[in-house]
Structure 1
Amino acid sequence: MEHQERALAAYIDQVSADPDTVGVVLIGSLARGVEREDSDVDVYLIVTAEAFARAAGEDRWAWIDRRDLDYPGSYIDIKLADLEYLRTAVERGDDPTRASFAGARVVFSRSDELEGLVAGISVLGDEVWAERIRSHIAQAHLHGGYFLRQAEEHGDPFLLQHAAVHLTLAAARAALASAHRLMPGPKYIHALVREVPSPEGFVDAWDAVVASPSIASANALIAQLDQWLGRDQSRDESLSVFIRDNELAWLRGTIPAEYY
């Protein structure tokens, strides 16, 4: 909307005078054209490597600027990055980082590299999506087919809830991966699992585990998931993938699958 675009222009005028500013990347609802009347303005402020290192030394990664200066309730929500941050995000960014750049718009730049980096962060190849499906199915098999069963058999209420959350997250992440959809964060999962295409009964089975986790509801969801996306993935294969992606993440220099 016009008042948010004016606020953005004022912020660009403010930071472009600083020689440490390399660029400004608009993200969020304004970038995607779905902002509300009272939406804030979300940006990545791209700075020089030296400025980024100084901010890192101060543990300063994000802040709010121009609060109530441009329209009632307005503010600029800022995350800090440099070009190396963006290069690394293209290579191995997690889903929330990649999703934050989906639909992003470079609104100020002193770098010929910036546009290409921003465009590449939210793009993954078919082989990456296929491996994600495999990994998330492994998470579902172990959390739903082993840990949840152990929880119910031993009367462990914490483990029951923990396993159910991880099972439903893994099942939802597999569904998203099948549609090549990034996961912006857990608060979006309940809506996203309903948006992506899935077989009849999948969402109902998913909801049943969320509402009432049990061996029966877990088995029903896993059966739906296997029929749809995991037909060729054995439990032995899932065990090895689960160990690789969880217990050996520290050794491989990766992050657990649920945090991709």
Structure 2
Amino acid sequence: MEHQQRALDAYVAQVAANPDTVGVVVIGSVARGTERDDSDVDVYLVVTAEAFAAATAEDRWAWIDRHGLDYPGSYIDVKLADLAYLRTAVRRADDPTRASFAGARAVFSRSEELPALVERISSLGDEVWAERIRSHVAQAHLHGGYFLRQAEEHGDPFLLQHAAVHLTLAAARAALASAHRLMPGPKYIHRLVREIPSPDGFVEAWDAVVAAPGTTTANALIAIIDDWLGRDQTRDESLSVFIRDNELAWLRGTIPAEYF
């Protein structure tokens, strides 16, 4: 909307005068054209390597700027980055970070590299999505087929809830990966499982585990996942993938699958 564009233009004029500013990348609803009348403006402020090192040494990664200056309730929600940060994000950012760059655009840049980096962060190849499905199916098999069953057998209410949450998250992440959709954060999962294409009964089975976790509801959800996305993935294969993605993440220099 016009008032958000004016706020963004004012912010760019403010920071462009600083020689440490390499670029400004607008993200979020304003970048995607889905902003509401009262939406804030979300940006990445891209700075020099020296400025980034100095700020992050003080744990200054994000802040609010221009609060109330441009329209009622307005502010610029700023996250800090440098070019090295963005290059690393292309290779191994988690889904929330990648999702934050979906539809993003550089509105100011002193670097020819910046626009291409911004575009590449939210793009994953088919082989990456296929491996994501394999990992999340493995998470569903172990959390729903083993830990949840253990929770019932031992009467462990915490493990029951923990396994159910991880099963439903894994099922949702597998479904999202099948649609090549990034996961922007847990608060979006309930809506997203209803938006992506899925087989008949998937959403109902997913909701049943959330509402009444137990082996009966878990088995029904896992059966749908197996028929849809399991691709004959055996429980032994899932065990190895689960160990690789979870217990050996420290060794491989990766992060557990639920945090991809």
TM-score per shorter chain, which class?
Answer: over 0.9
Instruction: String of CA shifts for 1:71-125, please: whole Å, max 9, x gaps.
Output: 0000000000000000000011100000000000110000000000000000000
Q: How does 1:102-181 map to 2 (within 5 A)?
A: 102-181=102-181
Specify the alignment match of 2:246 in structure 1. 246
1:189 aligned counterpart, secondary structure: helix
Residue 13 of structure 2 aligns to a residue whose secondary structure is helix
Report deviation, 1:68. 0.3
The residue that corresponds to 1:15 in the other structure is 15
Letter in 2 for 1:215: T
Structure 2 residue 63 is matched with structure 1 residue 66: no
Quote the offset at 1:38 in angstroms.
0.3
> Which residue of structure 1 lines up, in the alignment, with residue 80 of structure 2?
80
Paired amino acid for 1:146: Y
For the residues of structure 1 that align with 2:48 and 2:193, how far apart are their CA atoms?
Answer: 39
CA distance in 2, matches of 1:208, 1:231: 24
| Shift, 1:232, TM fit | 1.1
* Counterpart-to-counterpart distance in 1, 2:73 and 2:158: 41
1:220 equivalent in alignment to 2:220: yes
SS at the partner of 1:229? helix
State the distance in 1 between where 2:228 and 2:14 align: 52
| Deviation sequence 1:219-256 (CA, Å, 0-9, x none) | 00000000000031000000000000000000000000
Q: Measure the CA separation in 1 of the matches of 2:7 and 2:202.
A: 44
Q: Which residue of 1 aligns with 2:31?
A: 31
SS in 2 for 1:45: strand
Q: TM-score, normalized by length of structure 1?
A: 1.00
Corresponding residue of 2:205: 205
SS at match of 1:152: helix
Q: Distance in 2 between matches of 1:83 and 1:121?
A: 12
Structure 1 residue 20: deviation in Å?
Answer: 0.2
1:257 aligns with 2:257: yes
**Per-residue deviation, residues 180-216 of structure 1 (Å, max 9, x unmatched):** 0000000000001111100000010000000000000
- Alignment of 1:41 with 2:41, yes or no, is yes
Letter in 1 for 2:129: W
Aligned to 1:4: 4
The letter for the 2-side match of 1:69 is L
For 2:131, give the aligned amino acid: E
Secondary structure of the residue that 2:230 maps to in structure 1? coil
Deviations 1:20-63 (A, max 9, x none): 00000000000000000000000000000000000111000000
What is the aligned length? 260
